[in-house]
Amino acid sequence: QVQLVESGGGLVQPGGSLRLSCAASGRSFVIYAWGWYRQAPGKQRELVATITIGGDLNYADFVKGRFTISRDIRKNTVYLQMNSLKPEDTAVYYCNVNSHIGVNWGQGTQVTVSS
């Protein structure tokens, strides 16, 4: 299976920035798409952003203009740059990959936006 290791979460003040990273490893695989999802307290998990193997981007409306998803193919790593963070962005953020062997999820990293 594809294994995912996430990092970059933490505590930040409103208006601040964080960059999340997710590195994929394992046996030979082809990743069709990367995604970032989040789950806020008391809410369902929701899509934040995705990027395909061809570089096509998709963002949730609530993060457009503030978040940027990118990937380093050689490092098998995807990033989520989060700017202008709001308290409502507080959630556990999960990385996932859609590969030729299926869908895999990371363990999640906590992002807390508070003054």
User: What pLDDT does residue 79 have?
Assistant: 97
Residue 114 has pLDDT above 90, yes or no: yes
Scan for tokens 């996932």, then name that residue: 96
Q: Which residues contact 67 (CB under 8 A, 6 or more apart)?
A: 48, 49, 59, 80, 81, 82, 83
CA distance 80 to 1: 23
User: What pLDDT does residue 26 have?
Assistant: 85
> N- to C-terminal Cα distance for the chain?
40
Each residue's pLDDT tens digit, 51-71: 998 999 999 999 989 999 999
User: What pLDDT does residue 51 have?
Assistant: 97
